[in-house]
């Protein structure tokens, strides 16, 4: 009898605790859902993505989108480590990064092109040159050409500015322009495209590179390709005529869902792609 009574009391005790356990189980996902959508990476993309986030919140006031830069490599590392939901990257995933994603998350990642860009070389507005060939740019950035007079400019030493090696733009230029060769030791590495533009705007004999959307207060060089001279315009980037055109990517660990899907849908919508043009890049749609 005492044994039965003990069982009843124990059962009753568990029954009293059950609603609290159920309540906590329902509250946990709600707490998780309340957290911000984290978006991190490419310095080239950060201004555009911040604009997307601002406009998205106008029609989705409950949305929390946290956008930070740091470079494509930084964003992709955060994606692999599980500290961001969306990584911004101005370059494709490397095979080693795919393997890390597979090892940690059982997935090689989900890639989505959200805009197009043309890597642009900037010179000071007082520089008389308006165009260089790809070969001339390569020779400048590997250190073979060190004076502007060697490429038709004034008799003055070339002051080189570059991005840090965590930058997707750095990787793109090294692979696509330099053919894998190292940058000249004289190249000064700066932490963001805005810093490169600011340095070139102040240095009369400077040259730097970055995304098309940052070319303000400096002169964007045209590129000589055979008999053509091509400006880094949105039209030339979209058509692929500009030789340093590239896609800008969102990377996720798996197919988007929930808040990530809603934000991505907006970025790829007509309104979202209009913002791409306003920032200075080329839409993918």
The answer to whether the beta carbons of residues 157 and 147 sit under 8 Å apart is yes
pLDDT of residue 15: 34
Please report which confidence band the pLDDT of residue 12 belongs to, taking 50, 70 and 90 as the band edges: very low
pLDDT of residue 136: 98
Q: Which are the contacts of 165, defined by CB distance < 8 A and separation ≥ 6?
A: 73, 171, 189
Indicate the average pLDDT of the chain: 89
Q: d(Cα 121, Cα 221) in Å, to the nearest integer?
A: 6
Is the pLDDT at 151 greater than 90? The verdict is yes
Is the pLDDT at 207 greater than 80? The verdict is yes
Q: What percent of the chain has pLDDT over 70?
A: 88
Model confidence pLDDT, tens digit, residues 155-186: 999 999 999 999 999 999 999 999 999 999 99
- In order of start, what are the domains of the chain with their CATH numbers? 37-115+247-279 (3.40.190.10), 120-231 (3.40.190.10)
Average pLDDT for 56-63: 96
Q: d(Cα 209, Cα 141) in Å, to the nearest integer?
A: 11
Q: How many CA atoms lie within 13 A of 281 on its CB side?
A: 30
pLDDT of residue 31: 36
pLDDT of residue 199: 98
Q: d(Cα 115, Cα 136) in Å, to the nearest integer?
A: 28
Pick from 276, 142, 126, 280: nearest CA to 211: 280
pLDDT of residue 34: 55
Model confidence pLDDT, tens digit, residues 96-150: 999 999 999 999 999 999 999 999 999 999 999 999 999 999 999 999 999 999 9
Kindly state the DSSP code that residue 285 receives in the 8-state scheme: -
Which has the higher per-residue pLDDT, 22 or 134? Answer: 134
Which has the higher per-residue pLDDT, 268 or 12? Answer: 268
Q: What is the CA radius of gyration of the chain?
A: 25
Q: Which are the contacts of 235, defined by CB distance < 8 A and separation ≥ 6?
A: 282
pLDDT of residue 285: 76
Q: What percent of the chain has pLDDT over 90?
A: 85
DSSP H helix total and E strand total for the chain: 10, 13
Model confidence pLDDT, tens digit, residues 78-96: 999 999 999 999 999 999 9
Please report which confidence band the pLDDT of residue 226 belongs to, taking 50, 70 and 90 as the band edges: confident
Average pLDDT for 47-75: 96
């Amino acid at each position: 009898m005492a044994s039965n009574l003990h069982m009843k009391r124990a059962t009753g005790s568990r029954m009293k605790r059950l609603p609290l356990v159920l309540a906590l189980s329902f509250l946990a996902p709600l707490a998780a859902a309340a957290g911000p959508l984290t978006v991190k990476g490419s310095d080239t993309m950060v201004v555009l993505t911040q604009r997307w986030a601002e406009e998205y919140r106008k029609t989705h006031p409950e949305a929390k989108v946290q956008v930070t830069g740091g470079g494509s490599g930084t964003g992709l590392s955060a994606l692999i480590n599980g500290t961001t939901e969306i990584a911004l990257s101005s370059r494709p995933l490397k095979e080693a990064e795919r393997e890390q994603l597979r090892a940690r998350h059982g997935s090689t990642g989900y890639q989505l092109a959200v805009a197009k860009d043309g890597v642009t070389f900037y010179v000071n507005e007082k520089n008389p040159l308006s165009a260089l060939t790809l070969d001339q740019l390569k020779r400048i950035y590997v250190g073979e050409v060190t004076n502007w007079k060697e490429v038709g400019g004034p008799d003055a030493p070339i002051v080189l500015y570059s991005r840090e090696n965590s930058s997707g733009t750095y990787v793109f230029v090294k692979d696509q322009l330099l053919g894998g060769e190292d940058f000249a030791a004289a190249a000064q590495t700066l932490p963001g495209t805005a810093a490169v533009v600011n340095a070139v705007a102040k240095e009369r004999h400077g040259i730097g590179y970055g995304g098309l959307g940052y070319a303000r207060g400096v002169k964007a060089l045209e590129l000589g390709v055979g008999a053509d001279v091509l400006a880094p315009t949105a039209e030339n980037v979209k058509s692929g005529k500009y030789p340093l055109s590239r896609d800008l990517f969102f990377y996720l660990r798996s197919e988007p869902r929930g808040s990530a899907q809603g934000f991505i849908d907006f970025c790829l919508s007509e309104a979202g792609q209009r913002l791409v043009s306003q920032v200075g890049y080329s839409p993918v749609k």
